[in-house]
Amino acid sequence: MFALFSRKKKNKIIDLEFDESLGIPRHIAIIMDGNGRWAQKRKLPRIAGHKEGMNTVKKITKAASKLGVKVLTLYAFSTENWRRPDSEVNFLMKLPVDFFDSFVPDLVKENVQVNVMGYIEDLPKHTKNAVLRAIEQTKDNTGMILNFAFNYGSRAEILTATQKIAKQVVKGELDADAITEETLSDALMTGTFEKDLRDPEILIRSSGEERISNFLLWQIAYSELYFTDELWPDFNEYSLKQAIISYQKRARRFGGV
Ligand code: IPE
Ligand code: IPE
Ligand code: MG
């Protein structure tokens, strides 16, 4: 009873303050953290937290799309997450199958386009197929890009990009002195997006951890960082709006005055 009351009250306050005319970030990136702890608090297995976290992804996707966000990048599985117990990894590799099976019709209705950045070729076949199918099924949508970082690691991404550029130099297609920031930005996995959509304006991390965990190291050079103690399964539309309100209040100087 009490929790319900305070939540309602909280929602009211946020709706009152929220002003879309102050600007909605075009690209929002989220490190979805805290699924395991959410489950632990309820004496449930960690995978129960991942299942609940999947529902949060659905809610936040719809909310962001309605707000007019252009790219929503969600960190779903890192190149380091293979270190987890096999049973948990197996569950996480099955999640995209269930997620897309149940959610693609909604994505089509919302005009949302799925993109996956990461080392897809190293995923189990069923995971890879689910991901490729979702990309195919939503490829004609023209609204928000729902960009999953899956088997993604930023250092690996930068290394792959560097190798790609080095090969062009060796072949004589590119002069080493002609390599610019744009050359690297083009070669990264976000290089498939329009130039002004590649770097997130805001990076959100749930669960109270205040670190980047190998996510978008190049792209967040000037992103606003927002940390919340909420665990990912508890994160909701109001949490998202709260993050955006915080973003709207900040003065982004990019080194200027
Ligand atoms: C984030 O939640 C989801 C993934 C990394 C796949 P965690 O599983 O990291 O949850 P905690 O941090 O252990 O609570
Ligand atoms: C980062 O969370 C990766 C994802 C959210 C997919 P982790 O839970 O893996 O990060 P660390 O281990 O706390 O740094
Ligand atoms: Mg974690």
Nearest CA to ligand 2 atom 2: 33
Average pLDDT over residues 161-172: 98
Ligand 2 mean position, distance from CA 75 (Å):
8
- Side-chain half-sphere exposure of 73, counting CA atoms within 13 A: 27
Looking at residue 1, what is its pLDDT? 45
pTM of the shown model:
0.95
Q: Distance between CA 99 and CA 54 in Å, rounded?
A: 7
Tell me the ligand closest to 51's alpha carbon.
Answer: 1
Tell me the ligand closest to 53's alpha carbon.
Answer: 1
Q: Which residues have C-beta under 5 Å from ligand 3, the single-atom ion?
A: 33
Residue carrying structure tokens 């960190």: 75
37: pLDDT confidence band, cut at 50, 70 and 90? very high
146: pLDDT confidence band, cut at 50, 70 and 90? very high
Nearest CA to 36 out of 86, 90, 94, 88 is that of 88
Looking at residue 238, what is its pLDDT? 95
Give every CB contact of residue 137 below 8 A, 6+ residues apart in sequence: 100, 104, 107, 108, 114
Tokens of 24: 């909605």
4: pLDDT confidence band, cut at 50, 70 and 90? low
pLDDT in tens, 225-253: 999 999 999 999 999 999 999 999 998 89
pLDDT in tens, 178-227: 999 999 999 999 999 999 999 999 999 999 999 999 999 999 999 999 99
Q: Distance between CA 6 and CA 9 in Å, rounded?
A: 5
SS3 134: helix
- State the Cα torsion 183-185-191-194 to the nearest 10°: -100
Ligand 2 mean position, distance from CA 93 (Å):
16
pLDDT of residue 8 exceeding 80: no
pLDDT in tens, 109-129: 999 999 999 999 999 999 999
Nearest CA to ligand 1 atom 12: 34
Task: Name the phi and psi angles at 188, rounded to 5.
Answer: -75, 170
Looking at residue 252, what is its pLDDT? 85
Active site annotation includes 33:
yes
- Side-chain half-sphere exposure of 256, counting CA atoms within 13 A: 4
Tokens of 213: 């965990």
Q: Distance between CA 1 and CA 13 in Å, rounded?
A: 19
Question: How are strands ordered across the β-sheet holding 145-152?
Answer: 113-117, 145-152, 71-78, 27-31, 202-205, 224-227
pLDDT in tens, 41-100: 999 999 999 999 999 999 999 999 999 999 999 999 999 999 999 999 999 999 999 999
Helices 46-67 & 86-109, crossing angle to 10 degrees? Answer: 30
Tokens of 99: 């997620």
Q: Distance between CA 220 and CA 201 in Å, rounded?
A: 8
Nearest CA to 120 out of 154, 148, 161 is that of 148
Active site annotation includes 196:
no
Looking at residue 251, what is its pLDDT? 86
Question: Which domains, ranges and CATH numbers included, belong to the chain?
Answer: 24-111+121-152 (3.40.1180.10), 154-201 (no CATH)
